[in-house]
Every structure is written in structure tokens, then in C-alpha cells.
Amino acid sequence: MDYKKYIAQRIKIEGVAEEEIYTNIVSPPNSEMGDYALPCFRFAKVLKKSPASIAEELKSSYVTDGVVTEVGAVNGYLNFKINKSGLSDEVLNKILTLKDKYGSSETGKGKTVCIDYSSVNIAKPFHIGHLSTTVLGGALYKIYGFLGYNVVGINHLGDYGTQFGKLICAYKHWGNAEEVEKGGIHAINDLYVRFNNEADDTMESEAREYFRLIESGDEEANGIFEWFKSLTLKYVQGIYEKLGIKFDSYAGERFYTDKMQCVIDELREKDLLKESDGAQIVDLEKYGMPPCLILRSDGASLYATRDLAAAYYRKKTYDFHKCLYVVAYQQNLHFQQIFKVLELMGNDWAKDLVHVAYGMVSLEDGAMSTRKGKVVWLEDVINKCIEKAYKIIEEKNPGLDDKENIAEKVGVGAVIFGALYNNKIKDIVFSYDKVLSFEGETSVYVQYTCARANSVLNKSGEEIRVPSGYEPNTAEAEVVKQLADFPQTLNESAEKYEPSYIARYAVELAQRYNKFYIENKILTAEGDSKYFRLALTKAVLQTLKNALSLLGIGVPEKM
Ligand code: ARG
């Protein structure tokens, strides 16, 4: 049951919708005053009364029952106590029945969400800056799916542009097939870097010619390009497999080559296209933005042109309810522009396009910049985390079987969790020590809690059942309440495009469970207490697993 909803339905405030009351109800971190609370400050303006007197009035009109057993008004807060025994019965039984489906719903039934994420650029290896889009998008993909949406994961490949002419030129001058085949994407990237450092005017003009050849369908140029593309995809596939990421479409920029003309025609028909220094633009001055460039003076299309075509294509193909673009905030303006242009073209669905912007990731030692100099490749970060995890596990628990597998789950989990724990818009400084700590707010801490729960359950060997009518103590009730909040956390995380809510939820549930674990005996407890605590342990383990798996993180049995 959604207790917040239950309470919201029973409160009437003039001029305030039930939905608004619902979203304002909080679960206070300390439940002495109440299990749920409604702060009344927000309503003071509408009602022209002090928060304290609003709380008092609401208190006297609220009718308690077997679910909400007590209501109090303190300092402008309306506090509710709920029947913990009823709550425990309901929540624990639900989790133990639903298992890995606990938290899933049909909210999104019949609705499609497109998620454009990770969007690889051909011939460019992933550096740490590509981590967020990949794991954020991957998590949103899983979360929306869990909530019953039909999800389409799109890798909008960066496979169009003059740089591919340069790349072919560099390969022709300095490359050799064997080396490229062996060195893969890094060998290709080296050629590109070399071109930027060493190419003279002759090579520059050759590069333009190669680009033209790709465009005009020349067999040799396209053959080399396709080869580079397949090496790139093979490389990212390795990373995706580690991170548990998948896509339904790899339709990249090039795919839209023949789909731009109709957009350009439509822009012209609607009188939105203007000439400016020989280029074709959409003037956005009225909206406080620089013009959106549609065609360069030489007639070439741009990144924005291809994104306009892609938006139309996605609407037509998937009829999305929403289309998300998980792209760094550096592209804020780009998305504001294309969303505005689509709106000006009269597409009411332009409001369903969402730029899910996120902040930068850098490493502690400041290494990050791509242009020459220090670049940190994503695969190196992942591998280093796995290695470090292995060392830590070996130190802590040398007798463990299958350390390699465990280290992989712990190390990969730490990378993902490190990128997802904070609000996505924040810049992050990635620290190996921090993400791999057993004590901090980390996936390792959560995984370790799972291993602890597993070990309790294995030692007991008892059949799990929820004793009915059991009155939980404070620590137990705190865990139960957190368990009950999982479905709502998922909804909020989807609504705000914030997997971080789930990451934080998992840490908090683990903290509450550990507090309970320290304060209470389990295996040696008597009668119902023992059964209740075992059921609670199992429910926590299941819910933590569900939460981590939505982020793409696995849980080892032992650690
Ligand atoms: N490949 C682009 C980049 O690395 C990101 C593409 C994002 N998606 C899009 N539809 N524009 O900047």
C-alpha cells in the first residue's frame, strides 16, 4: 500500500489538489514524531493562516483508523503514526511473494520511451567523460522498463563528419591494415591525433576529398570507414557487456542522410528558414538564443539538422510518449535550439523531448582532457577498479572462492555507483578509494550488507515466513518503512530522470538494516522475533538486489 496516498486521500485543504498534498508528504528520518509528516508551510499562503494553525485544524478533522493510528500537530507539521504491525505484514509478504518483481509496476503500460544515450563517436575511444551518459542512460532504460514502459535504447552514433575524411587520409599515409586490426580503436585514434598534429595543406585537401568520396558512395572510402566503424563497435561492445548496457537501435547520424531533405523542405514551407551569409538558419533571437544553423553555405548539413531529422524519425517510428537525450550539459544550447525549432514547426510532441543533462566526471589527479596530453580511457578505469577490488577482497577474506567473479561485480559496481550516486547535474571527482570503500555511501557497502544478509539466511536454514500480528520494535519498523518506500522511490527516480534516488535509497536501506542488525539478535532470537527478523533479512536482501540491478550492479553471494 502507498501510505502517503492513503493519508493524502483523507486530508482536504481548500484550493490544494490531493496530488499536491501527496507529493508534500515526507518520511522523516527520525520517526519519533511520526512515520509520515505533512509540512504545512507551503499552504500558508493559499489559506492565509499560519502553518501551525493549519496543522492544528487538519489534525482535529483527521479521522484515525486501523491504518493511521495517531495524528499530531507540532510546529507547523502534521505528523502521522501508522499501524506498524499491519504495515510489516503487508510489506514483507509482498516482497517475499513478488521477489525480483518487487517495485515493478504497469505505470507505463502502452507508452514508449526512447532513450538516446552513450552515443559513440566512431574512431574515438571512450574516456571517463563517457561514463555518465552510458550508465545514466543504462539505468533509466532499466528503470522505465521495470515500470512497464516500452523502452527503446538508441545509440545515436557519431558517424558523420569531415573528420572521417581526415582519418582515411591519415590511414592511407601512415597506417597499415595489420596494425589497425591489432590495435583496434586506439590505433585508429592515434592516426587521427597524428593527422591533427602533422597534416599539411596538401593532406588537408586530400582529407576533404576523401570525405567527399565517402559521401558520394565511393567503394574504397566507404570500405575503410565501415571497417573503422566495426572496430569501434566491437570495442564499445566489450565495455557495454561489462556495464550491462544494451541498445535496440544503432541508427546514428549517417542514417539520417536521406531524411533531412524533407525537414528542410518543411522548414522552408513554414517560412522558418532564413539566409544568413549564404547559410540557412532558423532565427531564434526572439527566444534569446543564437540562430540554429541548418545548412552551411556549401550546402552541408549539421549536427542539428541530423538531430531534427532524428526526432521526426523517432516520433514516426516509435510514437514515443517521451524521448530522452542523455547528453552532457555542454550541449544545453544545442537541445534548447532543436526543441524550439521543432516546436516552431508546429509539433506538439516537441514538449515530450527531454534533455537529461549531467555534469562532468574528472579523476582525482585532474587527468581528463581529451585534446592531446592526459586522457584516461574508460576501460582502464574499469579494469583498475576491478583490480583494486580484487586486492581488497583478498585482504579481507582470503579464503573466498571465485574471487575473480566477486571482484568484477564489486569493481564494476563501484564505477557505476560512483557515477550515479550524486544528482546527475553535479560535476563529480572520481576517486578509486572513495568508490571502493566498505564504509562510505558506496555500492560496496550495499553489496557487503547483502553478503551479511545472505550469510544470516544460510546459517539459519529455516523456512522463511512472516509471523502475523508481530509488533516490530523501532529498528525493525525503520527498516520496514524504508522497504515500503521502494516503489515510490522508483516512480520519483523515473519522473526526475534521477537514478541517484535509487542509489541513495539502497544506501539508506543498508544503513537501517545494519543498525537493526547491530541492535538485535536474529539467529538466537526467540519465537516470532526470530521468524520476523529472518523474513525482514530476506526482504532487505531482495530489495537491495532489485535496487542495484536497476543500476546495472550485481550482488555477489559472499564477500
Ligand atoms: N555523439 C555525440 C557527442 O559525443 C552525442 C550525441 C547525442 N545524441 C544526439 N541525438 N545528439 O557529443
pLDDT on residue 341 = 98
Mean pLDDT of 446-453: 98
Tell me the one-letter amino acid at 486.
Answer: F
Q: What is the pLDDT of residues 265-323, one digit of tens each?
A: 999 999 999 999 999 999 999 999 999 999 999 999 999 999 999 999 999 999 999 99
Report how far ligand 1's centroid is from the alpha carbon of 122 (Å).
Answer: 11
> Chain-centre distance of CA 462, in angstroms?
37
Name residue, grid cell 561492445. 237
**Structural contact between residues 67 and 6, judged by C-beta atoms closer than 8 angstroms:** yes
**pTM reported for the whole predicted model:** 0.94
pLDDT on residue 373 = 53
Nearest-angstrom CA–CA distance, 314 and 293: 21
335 lines ligand 1 (CB under 6 A): no
Q: Which atom of ligand 1 is nearest to the CA of 120?
A: 1
Whole-angstrom distance between the N-terminal and C-terminal Cα of the chain? 34
Residues with Cβ < 8 Å from 449, sequence gap 6 or more?
510, 513, 514, 540, 544
Name residue, grid cell 596530453. 373
Report how far ligand 1's centroid is from the alpha carbon of 133 (Å).
Answer: 10
Report how far ligand 1's centroid is from the alpha carbon of 303 (Å).
Answer: 9
Looking at domain 112-269+302-363, its CATH architecture is 3-Layer(aba) Sandwich (3.40)
pLDDT on residue 370 = 46
Report how far ligand 1's centroid is from the alpha carbon of 80 (Å).
Answer: 48
Q: Which atom of ligand 1 is nearest to the CA of 334?
A: 11
Phi, psi of 85, rounded to the nearest 5 degrees? -70, -45
Q: List Cα–Cα distances, 352 to 143, 154, 167, 320, in angstroms.
A: 18, 16, 37, 8
Mean pLDDT of 194-199: 96
Write out the three cell numbers for 540: 532487505
253 lines ligand 1 (CB under 6 A): no
Residues with Cβ < 8 Å from 56, sequence gap 6 or more?
73
Mean pLDDT of 204-231: 96
Task: State which of 327, 335, 360 you would mutate to test the pocket of ligand 1, scoring each by most atoms of that ligand within 8 A of its C-beta.
Answer: 327
Letter string b/e over residues 1-34, b meaning 16 or more CB atoms within 10 A of that residue's CB? eebbebbbebbebeeeeeeebbebbebeeebeeb
Mean pLDDT of 201-230: 96
Residue 24 in this model has a pLDDT that exceeds 90: yes
323: which DSSP letter? E
Report how far ligand 1's centroid is from the alpha carbon of 326 (Å).
Answer: 9
pLDDT on residue 364 = 83
Torsion over CA of 378, 374, 500 and 492, rounded to 10 degrees?
A: -90
Q: Which helix (H) or strand (E) holds 53?
A: helix 51-61
Q: What is the pLDDT of residues 324-371, one digit of tens each?
A: 999 999 999 999 999 999 999 999 999 999 999 999 998 887 655 444
Provide the 3-class DSSP secondary structure of residue 231. Answer: helix
455 lines ligand 1 (CB under 6 A): no
Domain residue ranges of the chain, discontinuous segments joined by +: 3-82, 112-269+302-363, 270-300
pLDDT on residue 247 = 98
Torsion over CA of 379, 383, 386 and 387, rounded to 10 degrees?
A: -170
Name residue, grid cell 504545512. 40
Residue 32 in this model has a pLDDT that exceeds 90: no
Q: What CATH class has 3-82? A: alpha beta
Mean pLDDT of 206-216: 95
The 10 Å Cβ neighbour count of residue 144 is: 27
- The pairing of beta strand 112-116 with beta strand 322-328: parallel
Chain mean pLDDT for the chain: 95
Nearest-angstrom CA–CA distance, 188 and 183: 8
pLDDT on residue 454 = 97
Phi, psi of 288, rounded to the nearest 5 degrees? 70, 25
Tell me the one-letter amino acid at 212.
Answer: R
